[in-house]
Amino acid sequence: MDKKKIAIAIPASTISDTPHLREKTAKIGLIGRAAAIFRVDEIIVYQDNPRANQLRDLDFIALLLNYLETPQYLRKALFKIEPDLQFAGILPPLRTPHHPVSGKLRDLKVGEYREGLVLSQTKEGLLVDIGVEQPAVLRETQHATGDRLTSQVVNVGSRIDVQAVAREEVPGYWGFRVRIEKRSFVQFAKDGDFDLTIATAKLGTKFAAITGEIAKKWGQSNHVLVAFGPPSRGLHEIAKAEGAKLERIVDFVVNTIPEQGTATVRTEEALLATLAILNVQFNY
């Protein structure tokens, strides 16, 4: 079986009740950190209120998550200075394997994986910034200047040589991708390539009551979607507004915070609680 991929879906209105840009940025930082801690492969940002124009919020959330996911040494080249990144400095560092702590050539090892940015082309190949004092050489030409790529170090000496690899080839966790989903929640939950879909909801079945059922399907699945709704209205209401019954479009509707002590649970709070439970239960 292939390596299991975990995707989470978060609504655009995650930040709708947060008025200030600084607080919005901090909230997205928490979501990104939670995703990285529990090795989420993809974050899907979806429209949960078709009556509202949520394109602005979709773009903002995706921008901040993409910025957070990008290794620090590549951010200046890949992101323009813009108002939405005004408070990007408060975003917490991910400290994932693709965010190396050292930028020293002396610490670089053959076999190491690094995210890189194609700087230019020379007679020897492409020069790639991999976050150390000098560019590496990639003896391939199918990449364009400005492309981001995943690379593996094959030689360290007077010259650094790397080879391009598919992100999926990297052993272990290598960060998350971000996708904006403009289809309705019902559409992408039903028509996506997921072989297990779990919706979290206050009105769902207590997780402990159906752990065995989920475990059976979990073990057979390669691509899992865990979906979250906004605090203002749950996934049941979102599905109903789209003319569907939530239980008919996902495999399981679960309550991972039974007997909650607050009137609502924020998306980032539900995310941490749910992923922690899934991680402990299924050791993914």
Residue 83: the pLDDT is 96
Residue 73 lies in a domain: yes
Confidence label for 156 from pLDDT (cuts 50, 70 and 90)? very high
Assess whether 47 and 144 both reside in one domain: no
Residue 16: the pLDDT is 87
CATH number of the domain enclosing 81:
3.40.1280.10
Q: What is the dihedral sign for C-alpha 69, 73, 76, 78?
A: negative
Residue 53: the pLDDT is 82
- Residue 137 clears pLDDT 80, i.e. is over it: yes
- Structural domains of the chain, count: 2
Residue 151 lies in a domain: yes
Quote the pTM value.
0.95
Residue 60: the pLDDT is 97
Express each pLDDT in 34-87 by its tens digit: 999 999 999 999 999 877 789 999 999 999 999 999 999 999 999 999 999 999
- Residue 240 clears pLDDT 90, i.e. is over it: yes
Residue 99: the pLDDT is 97
Assess whether 181 and 142 both reside in one domain: no
Express each pLDDT in 220-233 by its tens digit: 999 999 999 988 88
Assess whether 71 and 125 both reside in one domain: no
Residue 100 lies in a domain: no
Assess whether 183 and 83 both reside in one domain: yes
Residue 2: the pLDDT is 64
User: How far apart are the C-alpha atoms of 43 and 8, rounded to whole Å?
Assistant: 5
Query: Which candidate, 137, 146, 138, places its Cα nearest to that of 77?
Result: 146
Residue 97: the pLDDT is 96
Residue 249: the pLDDT is 95
Residue 113 lies in a domain: yes
- Residue 250 clears pLDDT 60, i.e. is over it: yes
Express each pLDDT in 177-214 by its tens digit: 999 998 999 999 988 899 999 999 999 999 999 999 99
- Residue 235 clears pLDDT 50, i.e. is over it: yes
- Rg of the chain, C-alpha, whole Å: 21
- Residue 17 clears pLDDT 90, i.e. is over it: no
Residue 1: the pLDDT is 44
CATH number of the domain enclosing 112:
2.40.50.140
Q: What is the mean pLDDT of the chain?
A: 94
Assess whether 184 and 74 both reside in one domain: yes
Question: Residue 63's Cα: distance from chain center in Å?
Answer: 12
Tell me which of 192 and 161 has the higher pLDDT.
161
